[in-house]
């Protein structure tokens, strides 16, 4: 089976002469010849930047590195970049060691830029989560307070006879609040988990279970200590019944 090896060095030299390349190393590789051709074509495609080379050494370095970065982004080898620069207008005649130093500095800048972009993305995501957590936390506190108020309204005379026996109508409304609070707590816990994973923090350090949050809220509301266990059991029974 025939294979495609690409143009020969002789054909590349002929193409180089056609685009105005006058001098090439006698032993130039195909990569170097291709670089020289691209450098000449680049000069034809863009205006001359000769004035840049008359400025300070810092400006010259900035200009040269911008051109080296351009060729690195195209995937050129360093030897090809040397020839490309030598055939630009204005020509830049530099040793391959200079290109090597430029390439190292450019790649470090690329890494720093990539890190900066990731840092910005992480910061934006964390800010979005924080805003969402504030909303969820306020909603959770509202549902818990509503549950506490509804539960405290119960009186013996409120009990009613239903199809399945005696029931307390207030618990239907209270149940809606406690189930909503349980769902909100799950959303809060999931965001906290994702945020800690993104920031590389310990995954086990979370806000605890819904039972833990319920006990803490009962203590915050000043419910009698001996009643908290019954209150938590009641809430868990409501949630369990809602999931059945």
Q: Which residue has the higher pLDDT, 22 or 242?
A: 22
Lowest mean pLDDT among 33-47, 125-139, 163-177: 163-177
Dist CA 170 CA 178 (whole Å): 12
- Sorting pLDDT into bands at 50, 70 and 90, what band is 162? very low
- Residue range 80-128, pLDDT digits in tens: 999 889 888 888 889 999 999 999 999 999 988 888 888 888 888 888 8
Please give the pLDDT value at position 155.
46
Please give the pLDDT value at position 98.
93
Dihedral in degrees, nearest 10, Cα atoms 128, 134, 140, 144: 170
Listed in order, strand segments (DSSP E) in the chain are 160-162, 165-167
Sign of CA dihedral 147, 153, 155, 161: negative
Lowest mean pLDDT among 1-10, 109-118, 128-137: 1-10
CA nearest neighbour of 236 among 186, 165, 154, 175 = 175
Burial grade of 183 (CB within 10 A; 0-12, 13-18, 19 or more): middle
Please give the pLDDT value at position 216.
79
Of all residues in the chain, the percent with pLDDT exceeding 70 is 77
- Residue range 16-28, pLDDT digits in tens: 777 778 777 777 8
Say yes or no to pLDDT of 50 above 70.
no
The token pair at 236 is: 């868990």
Please give the pLDDT value at position 47.
57
Dist CA 71 CA 136 (whole Å): 50
Say yes or no to pLDDT of 1 above 50.
no
Q: Where are the domains of the chain?
A: 9-94, 117-243
Length of the chain: 244
Residues 6+ apart with CB under 8 A from 157: none
Lowest mean pLDDT among 57-61, 131-135, 167-171: 167-171
- Sorting pLDDT into bands at 50, 70 and 90, what band is 205? low
Q: Which residue has the higher pLDDT, 48 or 59?
A: 59
Report yes or no: 83 and 33 within 8 Å, Cβ to Cβ: yes
Task: Please provide the average confidence, as pLDDT, over all residues in the chain.
Answer: 77
């Amino acid at each position: 089976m025939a294979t495609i090896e690409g143009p020969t060095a002789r054909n590349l030299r002929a193409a180089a002469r056609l685009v105005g390349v006058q001098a090439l190393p006698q032993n130039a590789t195909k990569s170097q010849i291709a670089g020289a051709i691209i450098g000449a074509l680049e000069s034809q495609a863009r205006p001359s930047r000769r004035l840049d080379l008359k400025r300070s050494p810092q400006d010259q370095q900035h200009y040269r590195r911008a051109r080296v970065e351009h060729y690195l982004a195209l995937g050129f080898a360093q030897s090809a970049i040397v020839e490309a620069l030598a055939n630009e207008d204005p020509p830049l005649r530099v040793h391959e060691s200079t290109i090597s130093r430029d390439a190292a500095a450019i790649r470090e800048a690329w890494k720093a830029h990539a890190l900066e972009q990731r840092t910005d993305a992480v910061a934006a995501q964390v800010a979005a989560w924080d805003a969402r957590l504030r909303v969820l936390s306020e909603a959770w506190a509202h549902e818990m307070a509503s549950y506490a108020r509804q539960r405290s309204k119960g009186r013996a005379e409120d009990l009613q006879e239903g199809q399945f026996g005696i029931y307390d109508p207030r618990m239907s409304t209270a149940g809606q609040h406690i189930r909503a609070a349980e769902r909100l707590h799950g959303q809060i816990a999931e965001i906290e988990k994702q945020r800690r994973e993104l920031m590389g923090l310990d995954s086990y350090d979370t806000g605890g279970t819904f039972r833990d949050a319920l006990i803490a809220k009962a203590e915050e509301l000043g419910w009698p200590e001996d009643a908290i266990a019954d209150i938590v059991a009641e809430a868990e029974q409501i949630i369990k019944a809602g999931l059945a």
